[in-house]
Chains A and B, each alone.
Chain A
Amino acid sequence: MSRLLLVGVLWLAGASAALAIDHEIAFSDAAMNERYLNLIREIRCPKCLNESIADSDAPVAADLRREVRRLMGDGKSDGEIKDFLSARYGDFVLYRPRVTETTWALWAGPFVFLVIGGVVFWRIVRSRRGQPLDDEESAA
Chain B
Amino acid sequence: MWRYLRYAVPVAIFVAIGLFFYRGLNLDPNYVPSALVGKPMPKFSLPTLTDPDATVTSDALQGKVALVNVWGTWCVECRHEHGFLVQLAQAGVPIYGLNLRDDRASAMSWLATLGNPYVTSGFDPQGVAAVDWGVTGAPETFLIGRDGNVIFKHISPMTPQVWRRDFLPLIEEQCRAGGCEFLAAAGGR
A and B are interacting partners:
yes
Q: Does B30 contact A (CB under 8 A)?
A: yes
- Of B34, B127, B128, most buried by chain A (CB within 10 Å of CB) is B127
Indicate which residue in B30, B128, B137 contacts A49 across the interface (CB closer than 8 Å). Answer: B30
B29–A86 touching, CB < 8 Å: no
Residue in B closest to A86 when the chains form the complex, CB atoms: B35
- B40 nearest CB across to chain A (Å): 12
Q: Does B58 contact A (CB under 8 A)?
A: no
B137–A47 touching, CB < 8 Å: yes
A90–B34 touching, CB < 8 Å: yes
Q: Once bound together, how far apart are the Cα atoms of A88 and B33, in whole Å? A: 11
A88–B134 touching, CB < 8 Å: yes
Q: Does A89 contact B (CB under 8 A)?
A: yes
Chain B residues near A64 (CB, 8 Å)? 131
Q: Once bound together, how far apart are the Cα atoms of A49 and B27, in whole Å? A: 14
Q: How large is the interface on B (under 10, 10 to 19, 20 to 34, 35 or more residues)?
A: 20 to 34
Q: Once bound together, how far apart are the Cα atoms of A92 and B101, in whole Å? A: 24
Chain A residues near B101 (CB, 8 Å)? 59
Chain A residues near B30 (CB, 8 Å)? 49
Residue in A closest to B37 when the chains form the complex, CB atoms: A90
Q: Once bound together, how far apart are the Cα atoms of A27 and B150, in whole Å? A: 36
Q: Once bound together, how far apart are the Cα atoms of A27 and B128, in whole Å? A: 21
A46–B136 touching, CB < 8 Å: yes
Indicate which residue in B34, B131, B137 contacts A67 across the interface (CB closer than 8 Å). Answer: B131
Q: Once bound together, how far apart are the Cα atoms of A91 and B128, in whole Å? A: 20
- Of A86, A87, A88, most buried by chain B (CB within 10 Å of CB) is A88
Chain A residues near B89 (CB, 8 Å)? none
Q: Does B168 contact A (CB under 8 A)?
A: no
Residues of A within 8 A of B (CB): 46-47, 49, 58-60, 63-64, 66-67, 86-92
